[in-house]
Chains A and B, each alone.
Chain A
Amino acid sequence: MRKKLREVKTTVSEMFELPKDIMLNLPRISMIGNNQMLVENHRGVIEYTPQRIRLNSTIGVIRVEGQDMDLKNIAVDDVMITGLIKHVEF
């Protein structure tokens, strides 16, 4: 039932060209070069060290690896990561 609802939402958002991050509650990730990354619509921090950051989201864990990474801003639904980013994994 839940899966069906999701499918309907996907088709509707594609039909009306609505942004999927809002319709499907997906994380929206925007990066500037390799030293700034903004993750909107996250579900909390699982792990934070300067070398590795793991963020929870609706599609699973987002793993960011790099060097000297800081959490520049953190609020209820967005995180700004600065530092040298090397990998982003889902």
Chain B
Amino acid sequence: MLILKLWNYVVGYLIIRVDGLSLEKFINLTISNGIFLWGIKRSGYTTMTACISISGFKKLKGIARKVRCRVRIVDKRGLPFLLVRLRHRKMLLVGLTAFLIILYGLSSFIWTVDVEGNVKVPEDKLLNALAKYGIKPGAFKKGLDISAIENRLIIDVPDIWWASIQLKGTKAIVKVVEAAQPPPMVDKDTPCNIVASKDGIIHEMVVLEGQPVVKQGDTVKKGQLLVSGVVEDSETLTTRFVHAMAQVTARTWYEGQAVYSLDKGLTQRTGRKVVHRFLDMGQWVVEYQKGDIPFKQYEVEERKVPFFGEGRFFPITMIVREYYEVEKLPISASLQQLKEIAQKEAMEDVNKKIPPDAKIVDKRVKYDMIEDKEVKVTVYVEVLEDIAQEQKIIVE
């Protein structure tokens, strides 16, 4: 029945009021003329309301005269009447069509390009390569030969093996698979030794080729021979030169330092702040909220907020500059915090020195007060790392 209602709405119908003495006759006559009536309600002895289609109403005149009834339109419902009413509001229609055209127009452009799957290849490089073939924010979607661009991308960027470009709405999703680089060839013909690249205590040794000189638990210095490429056979008393290969894991130490002066002290935000806002439109920067800064000491924090939310392409960003009023903390209160901050800084310092494949085993922190003016934090970190280093043997 919903479909029937919907159809009636689209075609349009009238609610009529019929006044007369012989309403039953009126009903019988209309239906026998093939006019469909619905929603008949009798509101009094001589009146009733009913719904009728527009075409049916046109045929009603003769019937009404025959049975001496008066038919009046109470209400007009449906889409045709709505459209007639809209005809008088031309600007609304203009706005509606303009909206639809703009919506359709803007949705036929690419507004964001997402690259997925790249680890080593920088995103900028891929984006530049894509932009060259027309996949960039603001590009027209139609007429892009996606499969050709995929192939060109693979040719242009040799570090990727496979690429797929998907246009989803206004978003271009680019998936790439990076090429796995083959491991470097081991040149087995040139004889070499394995020496220590760092000071440390040997934790584990896996010798693949060559004669081990040191053993687990030995302390070695930088440059010390670990595995010899000169192998002497005890039975035949011959000497062979081999390309020594070994994995030598050793405990090594790193230290990081940070010094903080106590009179610098620490500051704390009081909670008062002043916000300045700017609109960044590429070349022009428009300020629209600015005031005086009534604070003696303050910190500045600057943030950039995209105007229409994160990740959407729109050339306007908002720069929010927040000025926080700060006050100095007394030394006794700040010492503990200073230590924590200094320790964090020392950790960052030491983390820079530790190679990425090393495993941290132990960590110790030492605090030193220098003449009650400075605090010095030293962090000792013990790690396990591979210290094997090849060194060529020069055979005379």
Chain A residues in contact with chain B, CB under 8 A? 44-50, 70-76
Contacts and interface: CB of A to CB of B under 8 A. Distances in A.
B31 A76 contact: yes
Interface in B24-51: 24, 27-28, 31-32, 34, 36-42, 45, 48
Nearest to A47: B24
Residue of A48, A74, A75 contacting most chain B CB atoms (<10 Å): A74
A74 B42 contact: no
A77 B42 CA distance: 21
Contact of A71 (B27, B32, B34, B45): B27
Contact of B38 (A45, A48, A50, A72): A72
Interface residues of B, number: 16
Contacts of A47: 24
B130 interface: no
B174 interface: no
A49 B42 CA distance: 6
Interface of B: 23-24, 27-28, 31-32, 34, 36-42, 45, 48
The 10 A-B pairs at the shortest CB distance, nearest first, are namely: A71-B40, A44-B28, A45-B24, A73-B38, A74-B37, A45-B27, A70-B41, A76-B31, A48-B24, A50-B42
A50 B23 CA distance: 13
Given A45-B24, A47-B24, A48-B24, A75 B31 contact: yes
A2 B40 CA distance: 38
A48 B24 CA distance: 6
Contact of B27 (A48, A49, A72): A48
A48 B42 CA distance: 8
A45 B41 contact: no
Given A71-B37, A72-B38, A76-B32, 14 more contacts: A44-B28, A44-B31, A45-B27, A47-B24, A48-B27, A48-B48, A50-B42, A72-B39, A72-B40, A74-B31, A74-B37, A74-B40, A76-B31, A76-B34
A84 to B, nearest CB: 14
A72 B32 CA distance: 17
B31 A48 contact: no
Contacts of B36: 73-75
Contacts of A75: 31, 36
A19 to B, nearest CB: 24
Nearest to B33: A76
B41 A48 contact: no
Contacts of A73: 36-38
A48 B23 CA distance: 8
Nearest to B29: A44
Contacts of B23: 48
A71 B39 CA distance: 6
A45 B42 contact: no
B45 to A, nearest CB: 8
24 contacts: A44-B28, A44-B31, A45-B27, A46-B24, A47-B24, A48-B23, A48-B24, A48-B27, A48-B40, A49-B45, A70-B39, A70-B41, A71-B38, A72-B38, A72-B39, A73-B36, A73-B37, A73-B38, A74-B31, A74-B36, A74-B37, A75-B36, A76-B31, A76-B32
